[in-house]
């Protein structure tokens, strides 16, 4: 509780002393006290500046009634913090005008001194809509940047089947009978072009977060499909090793695919000579594990603490945002990324909790 109170003191007012006068700048954050069941007991007057409600309009109502339906279940299942710990939740909350905004709440639990049972939740809530919009902009920018880098290779990947189709059509025109073997090959080439173009369109298409059940084997296959042409240009072989019988996993499929594509592109760029990339998928009791290993030159040990930070990159024309977005997406999935590197190559290991 003392940690949250000290945070409140910094957040609630900014005091500046000039010519013996005290000027107080009120905070846009609001404080809320509620029961463990979510019944609001108190809310600070600053709630009106953020959400437009008067205090009396909120006291006595359930806090969760104002939380976006898509975020409600996630918040409901969040464990309460112990002792002096703070729980930080990010979610959407409804203003009085009906518009939802993104907020972040620091939550502390007041427990009964005898039973240690929670009897009051104490929170400070901040408007982070601008931060979320900026993150979404960077995510879409980096996604389109990846699509642009892939465009030349994918154009080549589509050109080869088109050349085959053109040749078979000419052969069939010259013949007097319909050749079913030619038709079978032509169908395969069309499916190949369709798969590549479909993956590219899905990658470029803006989308909101959508957690569904996806087969992780399929997501990795799709990512590899998009990068086969890029890998072939640098004589890099990509192989997949999976021990998953059932690869179904609850996630945002497009975002996980973006992580895989970014990391595979980084691995390809890390190798100046022909090399190999191995994507390994396995599962423990509580985690899904994806390891992406390359045979490149490795990352210097002094740069390990900079990995995933914005604008840190070892590429001559890179900006460091791609890997930062990867870390952010995995963090949204409550996972983590570990890095191991030597002069013989680098391995990025993604660990995602199985819910």
* Top-confidence residue, 15 or 281: 281
What would the mean pLDDT of 243-257 be, rounded to a whole number? 84
Chain centroid to CA 110: how far?
A: 33
Global confidence as pTM: 0.49
Q: Which residues, in sequence order, are bridge partners of residue 340?
A: 347
User: What tokens were used for 227?
Assistant: 């990068």
Which of these ranges, 76-80, 127-131, 266-270, has the smallest mean pLDDT? 76-80
Q: Encode pLDDT of 52-89 as tens digits.
A: 999 999 999 999 889 988 888 777 777 677 766 788 88
Of 334 and 174, the one with more pLDDT: 334
What is the pLDDT, as a whole number, of residue 132?
A: 80
pLDDT value at residue 253: 85
- Residue 7 and residue 342: Cα distance in Å, rounded? 42
Answer yes or no: is pLDDT of 22 > 50: no
Top-level class of domain 133-353: alpha beta
Residue 20 CB coordination number (10 Å): 5
255: helix, coil or strand? Answer: helix
Q: How confident is the model over 205-242, as pLDDT tens digits?
A: 555 567 788 889 989 988 888 788 778 878 889 999 98
End-to-end CA distance of the chain: 30
In this structure, which CATH number among 2.60.40.420, 3.30.450.20, 3.90.1150.10, 3.10.20.30 belongs to the domain 2-127? 3.30.450.20
Domain coordinates of the chain in residue numbers? Answer: 2-127, 133-353
> Which CA distances in Å does 102 have to 51, 150, 219?
11, 33, 29
Distance CA(22)–CA(13), nearest Å, equals 11
CB proximity list for 51: less than 8 A, separation 6 or greater: 30, 66, 93, 94, 95, 96, 101
User: Which comes out higher in pLDDT, residue 26 or 190?
Assistant: 190
CA 86 to chain centre: 23
3-state secondary structure of 349: strand
pLDDT (tens digit per residue) in 134-172: 777 776 666 666 666 666 556 655 766 777 677 777 777
Which of 27-41, 239-253, 310-324 comes out lowest in average pLDDT?
310-324
């Amino acid at each position: 509780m003392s940690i949250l109170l000290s945070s409140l003191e910094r957040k609630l007012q900014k005091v500046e002393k000039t010519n013996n006068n005290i000027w107080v700048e009120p905070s846009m954050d609001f404080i809320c006290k509620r029961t463990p069941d979510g019944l609001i007991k108190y809310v600070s007057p600053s709630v009106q500046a953020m959400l437009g409600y008067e205090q009396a309009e909120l006291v006595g109502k359930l806090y969760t009634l104002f939380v976006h339906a898509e975020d409600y279940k996630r918040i409901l299942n969040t464990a309460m913090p112990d002792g002096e710990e703070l729980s930080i939740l990010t979610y959407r909350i409804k203003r009085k005008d009906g518009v939802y905004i993104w907020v972040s709440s620091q939550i502390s639990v007041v427990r009964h001194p005898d039973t240690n049972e929670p009897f009051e939740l104490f929170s400070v809530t901040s408007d982070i809509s601008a931060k979320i919009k900026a993150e979404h902009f960077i995510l879409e920018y980096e996604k389109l940047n990846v699509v642009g880098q892939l465009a030349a290779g994918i154009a080549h990947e589509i050109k080869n089947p088109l050349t085959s189709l053109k040749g078979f059509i000419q052969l069939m025109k010259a013949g007097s009978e319909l050749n079913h073997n030619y038709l079978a090959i032509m169908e395969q080439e069309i499916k190949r072009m369709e798969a590549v173009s479909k993956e590219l369109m899905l990658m470029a298409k803006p989308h909101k977060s959508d957690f569904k059940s996806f087969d992780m084997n399929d997501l990795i296959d799709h990512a590899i499909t998009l990068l086969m042409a890029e890998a072939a240009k640098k004589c890099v072989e990509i192989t997949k090793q999976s021990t998953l019988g059932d690869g179904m996993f609850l996630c945002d499929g497009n975002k996980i695919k973006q992580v895989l594509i970014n990391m595979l592109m980084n691995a390809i760029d890390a190798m100046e000579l022909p090399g190999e990339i191995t994507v390994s998928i396995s599962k423990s009791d509580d985690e899904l594990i994806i390891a992406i290993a390359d045979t490149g030159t490795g990352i210097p040990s002094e740069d390990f603490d900079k990995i995933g930070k914005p604008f840190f990159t070892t590429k001559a024309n890179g900006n460091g945002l791609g890997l930062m977005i990867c870390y952010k997406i995995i963090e949204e999935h409550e996972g983590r990324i570990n890095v191991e590197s030597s002069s013989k190559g680098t391995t990025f290991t993604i660990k995602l909790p199985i819910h």
